[in-house]
Amino acid sequence: MIYRILDIFFVVFHSSLVIFNLFGWAWKRTRRLNLITLILTGSSWLFLGLLVGTLGYCPLTDWHFRILEKMGKTALPLSYMKYLFDRITGLNIGEKLVDKVTLAVFVAALVVSIIFNVRDFIRKRKEVDP
């Protein structure tokens, strides 16, 4: 029972974080936090990934997959996005394709977030120092 609750928690929390990473730049109030979560996500994928030996490492995925294994689920993919896509759609899309799309969309969201955050910073500076 507890593992089922934790599974639902991770699906909701992790999916919400993914959605926030993708679109959090769209609202001025969340732009700075969005940039922070994107940097943390990218740092996890790169730096934690190098430490544990798997580029793209995410502790949330690791913890969630441990819960799923305790629930008897086996043959889990390396990618949370592949797992989520398969779980939601029932399809079995290629892991490499999912990884490429995930990285491309992440980079696009990061670039957009940086652009909006820099623009907001410049505008704020101009308001202070006319």
Structure tokens at 127: 């308001």
Q: pLDDT per position in the chain (130 positions), as tens?
A: 999 999 999 999 999 999 999 999 999 999 999 999 999 999 999 999 999 999 999 999 999 999 999 999 999 999 999 999 999 999 999 999 999 999 999 999 999 999 999 999 999 888 877 6
Total residue length of the chain: 130
Q: Residue 130's pLDDT is what?
A: 63
Name the pTM for this structure.
0.90
Calpha distance 40→22 (Å, rounded): 14
Calpha distance 103→4 (Å, rounded): 29
